[in-house]
Chain A
Amino acid sequence: MRGLPPAGLPCPVWAVVFCAVLAALACTAPAFADSRTPWPAVALLAVLYLGCELVRICPLPGKRVPEGIGSFFPVLLAAVFLLPPAAAALVALPGGFAQAVVRRPAGVRRVWHAAQQALAAGAAGWTFGLLGGAAPPGSAPVPFAELPHFPYALLPAVAAAAAFCCVLTGLDAGVLAAAERRPLRTAWRGPLGRSLAPHCVHGLAGLMMAVLWRSPYGLPAALLVLLPMYISCWVFARYHRERAAHQATIRALVQAVELKDRYTRGHGERVGQASAMIARELGMDGDRLEVVRIAGILHDVGKLGVPTRLLRKDGPLTPQERRIIELHPEYGHEMVRGIGFLGEARSAILHHHERVDGSGYPYGLTGEQIPVPARVVAVADAFDAMTSTRSYSRARPVPVALAELERCAGAHFDPVMVRALVEAIGRDGWHPVVTADEDELQVIPAGPAPGRAAAPAAAAPDPGGPALSGLPAQGARTRVRTAEPPKGPEPDGGGGT
Chain B
Amino acid sequence: MRGAVAPAAVVWGVRGAAVLLTLAGLGHTLWNGLVEPGTALAFGALIACGELARRDTRDARHARGPRDARAGDPRDPWGTRDPAAAAPGAADDRQPAPLASAGALAYALLGPDAAEPTHHGVLQIVTVVVAAALAGIVPHIARGRAPAADHLARRVLTVAFAAVCFQPLYNSGRLEDGIGQGPYLVLFLLLLLGLTALCDAVLAAALARARTGWPYGPLLRDELRAQLGIGSAICATGVVMALGVAVAGLWALPVFCPPLLLTQLSFHRITAIRTTYRQTITSLARATEIAGYTRPGHSRRVAALSCAVGRELGLSERELTVLEYAALMHDIGQLSLVDPVRAGATAGLPAAEARRIAALGGEVARQTGVPAEVAVIVERQADPYREQPVLARIVRAVNAYEDLLGGPRHPGGPLAALEQLRLGTGRDYQPEVVECLARVLARGGRDRVVPVPPG
Contact = CB atoms under 8 A, between A and B. Distances in A.
A227 B233 contact: yes
A132 interface: no
B284 A252 contact: yes
B183 A232 contact: no
Contact of B455 (A217, A227, A340): A340
Contacts of A309: 338-339
A366 B340 CA distance: 37
Nearest to B453: A338
A221 interface: yes
A242 B325 CA distance: 14
A371 B135 CA distance: 44
Given A212-B243, A221-B183, A232 B364 contact: no
Interface in B289-337: 290-292, 332, 335-337
B256 interface: yes
A224 B240 contact: yes
Interface string A332-348: 00111111110000000
Nearest to B277: A246
B276 A338 contact: no
A259 interface: yes
A231 B233 contact: yes
B251 interface: yes
A150 B249 contact: yes
Interface in A22-45: none
A151 B254 CA distance: 11
Contact of B276 (A228, A236, A239, A246): A246
Contacts of B186: 217-218, 220-221, 224
Contact of A212 (B247, B290, B336): B247
B212 interface: no
Given A217-B182, A246-B276, A154 B247 contact: no
A205 to B, nearest CB: 6
B61 to A, nearest CB: 10
A27 to B, nearest CB: 28
A305 B291 contact: yes
Contacts of B251: 150-151, 154
A211 B270 contact: no
A151 B114 CA distance: 13
B259 A249 contact: no
B364 A252 contact: yes
Interface size class for chain B? 35 or more
Contacts of B280: 246, 249-250, 253, 339
Contacts of B420: none
A246 B369 CA distance: 7
Contact of B369 (A205, A225, A244, A336): A244
Determine the main DSSP class of B at the interface with A: helix
B68 to A, nearest CB: 8
A154 B282 CA distance: 50
B6 interface: no
A151 B240 CA distance: 17
Contact of B256 (A149, A204, A244, A339): A204
Nearest to B64: A340
A206 to B, nearest CB: 10
A284 interface: no
A339 B286 contact: no
Contacts of B260: 228, 232
Nearest to A200: B258
Nearest to A256: B335
A218 B233 CA distance: 20
A239 B270 contact: yes
Contacts of B266: 232, 235-236, 238-239
B99 to A, nearest CB: 11
Contacts of B369: 244-249, 252
Contact of B244 (A208, A246, A256): A208
A2 interface: no
B434 interface: no
Given A225-B240, A232-B263, A256-B364, A208 B256 contact: yes
A208 B255 contact: yes
Contact of B273 (A201, A242, A336): A242
Contacts of A245: 277, 368-370
A491 B399 CA distance: 40
Contacts of B236: 224-225, 227-228
A231 B230 contact: yes
Nearest to B249: A150
Interface in B237-279: 237, 239-240, 243-244, 246-249, 251-252, 255-256, 258-260, 262-263, 266-267, 269-270, 272-277, 279
Contact of B277 (A225, A229, A242, A253): A242
B37 interface: no
B90 interface: no
Contacts of A256: 284, 287, 332, 335, 364
A52 to B, nearest CB: 14
B258 A201 contact: yes
Contacts of A150: 248-249, 251-252, 255
Contacts of B338: 308-309
Given A256-B364, A259-B335, A235 B263 contact: yes
Contacts of A340: 64, 275-276, 279, 455
With most chain A CB atoms within 10 A of its CB, the pick from B181, B252, B275, B367 is B367
A103 interface: no
B229 interface: yes
Contacts of B64: 340
B149 interface: no
A431 interface: no
A216 B332 CA distance: 62
B258 A259 contact: no
A210 to B, nearest CB: 11
A46 interface: no
Nearest to B234: A228
Interface in A306-355: 306-309, 331, 334-341
A255 B364 contact: yes
A338 B240 contact: no
A219 B255 contact: no
22 contacts: A150-B251, A154-B251, A204-B256, A208-B240, A224-B186, A225-B240, A227-B236, A228-B260, A235-B267, A242-B277, A249-B280, A253-B283, A256-B364, A259-B335, A259-B364, A301-B287, A305-B290, A305-B292, A307-B291, A307-B339, A334-B286, A335-B290
Interface of A: 149-151, 154, 201, 204-205, 207-208, 211-212, 215-221, 224-225, 227-229, 231-232, 235-236, 238-239, 242-253, 255-256, 259-260, 301-302, 304-309, 331, 334-341
Closest 5 CB pairs of A and B: A248-B369, A150-B251, A245-B369, A338-B455, A252-B368
Interface of B: 64, 181-183, 185-187, 190, 229-230, 232-233, 236-237, 239-240, 243-244, 246-249, 251-252, 255-256, 258-260, 262-263, 266-267, 269-270, 272-277, 279-284, 286-287, 290-292, 332, 335-339, 364, 367-370, 453-455
Given A252-B284, A308-B338, A334-B286, 14 more contacts: A208-B256, A217-B182, A217-B186, A217-B243, A217-B247, A224-B186, A227-B233, A231-B230, A232-B259, A249-B280, A250-B280, A251-B367, A260-B335, A338-B286
